[in-house]
Structure 1
């Protein structure tokens, strides 16, 4: 099975480049990448890295979702996810409309448990369960917040609403609805302020930095992360496990931003600070502020930053030392295998790349099905071979190629 000739990032880059009357050399010069890289990506012979897509999108003045071809509507219709976007968008717009007279909110503890379950579902990339439950829960929490007087219960509900907005961000962002994801992040910040929780505000800034990095704006991402560290310092106990977990996650995000900027010294500095925070905690704490932080995540980012820096041999070496515990979030594990597939594909190791792609599907199938890098790597491997192996052809069909 072969993907359509024009159904990949490189072909879309070529289309928009020609519309802008740019040569491959002209685009390469403006995007600060080599002409050879542009040529290989346009031909569909090498994966387009997120940093490269962001740089090219900026030059071509298009959104990265246009180049990625997101959202993948036919697959979303098959999975019945498309019908969940409109209700979620409407639910996020309820934040300032006051109580709904048709809703009788359940007790605060029950609502918190519901939100906690959805947060766990987001970390497990269970998009179907999230999309069907989240809009109604947002409406119920909004009404509960409107009815409660100032006090601890109101702060608890505000916190639950903030985390619900975080789930809305994860759901919409992973499916390619970046504008809706931005709205969800704004709602998250507004509710975190009402919850008076600086760590929750810092988590929001971490996610905001991810969106900036997706657009290739690593310098602004680093400024946002620095603001996140200032918020952590406002916590009552900056030596507590929650504060260390949030701070450590900010350092890891900084390492990725520095790696995207090809600043290896800064990467080492951020990774060292993250390692120190993980050592102070002494164990993985995946459910603490849903940061998935700990020694395992630091080891994962040793691999991820090496891949981003183009040090593929070092990435493979570090990967051999990485072992995920059973309780590690599937979102993280699935992303790791997608990153490794990209690295192996760049090294010309098709069999190892395909194995990593299958593992990504096994670990977090819904994440794999909608991840642009997963699709692009599969497409590259298919195009490089006269006849795709059965396993690779099966992956291509499953992902919608």
Structure 2
């Protein structure tokens, strides 16, 4: 187990800052962050938010994953996830090699049902189950798409299934810290969505691309990518349909996060209002429509998340009191919400509330919580602020590998 005093994002930022021969003031000026914030982050006394990590990484010319300490190889080894990365990488490389004559694909309808199950698993952050199934499924679908006639309805369904498998691969690799692999999967998703001739799939891919841009702190390019996504939605056969509205609403929510990272409060309000209008048009939560997990519940969640990102912690707490997740809401979303609340409580100095939120994140989506850098960062901050960590907090630290 790494020593918590040394194993945190702030310590890694300090190391790279010194290697680049920058003072805390110099780094703060170049990253457009207050020097006091840099000092607290480096000391491990305040959580390093994704926006701060992205801004600092840009100045230090280092990948965000390195500052986050990802991937967490020892924990992946314990969970038997490490052995799944190489087969998945190999399966992604099969995309243009034609059919594998050693594979006899099942009927497309049967494969489609399995793809639905694996998409459900992704929304539930069941990484191990996903990693075991994905390589074989990618190989089977790649062969099926190669063998089916281009005019066949089955081929279009197969291309859509393969596109969704690439999306799941992106989610799997991204959440575990393999961001280059995730980027490859996202490119494959776009390539296959074009063959499926589905503008909504292409638009949804752009929402994920915007997330990767935000990870690097490039919120302006992220917003341009999202604008292109809205153009694609407008090109679909039924732009007022539930599917199109759900994808459009998802793009608005991604825009709200991008605007929050840019500290543009007016733009955040505008994006959220457009997302709320889209959700009201649908009239209900639609967690399985294009796997966008869109609806009024998700808009309420992003209302809280953007307030936390803007530093409006009082407003975030007020909004959080009104938020209630339905039983079928994706665990990925609920778990992320509790991690965000833990960060907010930590910033407010409410250690007990932060710890409760961390435990709740673990209960709801354990594999997501175990591999989420903000979960680890918040735990580490809470431990360092106390002379003796409570048993529950110490248990969480050990569980994530700190």
TM over 0.5: yes
CA deviation string 1:71-91 (max 9, x = no partner): 000000000000000000000
Aligned length: 401
- The corresponding residue for 2:4 is 4
CA deviation string 1:300-350 (max 9, x = no partner): 000000000000000000000000000000000000000000000000000
Do structure 1's residue 295 and structure 2's residue 282 form an aligned pair?
no
1:2 deviation in Å?
8.8
> Structure 2 CA distance, aligned partners of 1:353 and 1:25?
30
- The corresponding residue for 1:31 is 31
- The corresponding residue for 2:21 is 21
Do structure 1's residue 327 and structure 2's residue 328 form an aligned pair?
yes
> Structure 2 CA distance, aligned partners of 1:352 and 1:371?
19
Q: Map residues 157-306 of structure 1 onto 2, 5 A cutoff.
A: 157-306=158-307
Contact kept in structure 2, 1:3 and 1:379, CA below 8 Å? no
SS at match of 1:290: coil
Q: Map residues 71-90 of structure 1 onto 2, 5 A cutoff.
A: 71-90=71-90
Do structure 1's residue 350 and structure 2's residue 351 form an aligned pair?
yes
CA deviation string 1:238-297 (max 9, x = no partner): 110000000000000000000000000000100000000000000000000000000000
The runs of at least 4 aligned residues of structure 1 exceeding 6 Å deviation read none
> Structure 1 CA distance, aligned partners of 2:2 and 2:259?
37
CA deviation string 1:88-124 (max 9, x = no partner): 0000010100010110000000111111111000000
> Structure 2 CA distance, aligned partners of 1:320 and 1:123?
24
Contact kept in structure 1, 2:148 and 2:154, CA below 8 Å? yes
CA RMSD, 1 decimal: 0.8
1:6 deviation in Å?
1.8
* TM-score, scaled to structure 2: 0.99
- The corresponding residue for 1:123 is 123
SS at match of 1:187: helix
Do structure 1's residue 47 and structure 2's residue 47 form an aligned pair?
yes
Of residues 254-263 and 151-160 in structure 1, the stretch that sits farther from structure 2 once superposed is: 151-160
> Structure 1 CA distance, aligned partners of 2:5 and 2:318?
35
- The corresponding residue for 1:142 is 142
Contact kept in structure 1, 2:4 and 2:380, CA below 8 Å? no
Do structure 1's residue 96 and structure 2's residue 96 form an aligned pair?
yes
> Structure 2 CA distance, aligned partners of 1:74 and 1:266?
41
> Structure 1 CA distance, aligned partners of 2:374 and 2:150?
46
- The corresponding residue for 2:395 is 394
Contact kept in structure 1, 2:5 and 2:384, CA below 8 Å? no
* TM-score, scaled to structure 1: 0.99
Gaps of at least 5 residues in structure 1 are none
> Structure 1 CA distance, aligned partners of 2:95 and 2:354?
44
SS at match of 2:149: coil
> Structure 2 CA distance, aligned partners of 1:379 and 1:281?
41
> Structure 1 CA distance, aligned partners of 2:3 and 2:277?
46
- The corresponding residue for 2:66 is 66
- The corresponding residue for 1:369 is 370
Contact kept in structure 2, 1:47 and 1:377, CA below 8 Å? yes
1:4 deviation in Å?
3.3
SS at match of 2:95: coil
Gaps of at least 5 residues in structure 2 are none
1:5 deviation in Å?
2.3
CA deviation string 1:192-212 (max 9, x = no partner): 000000000001000000000
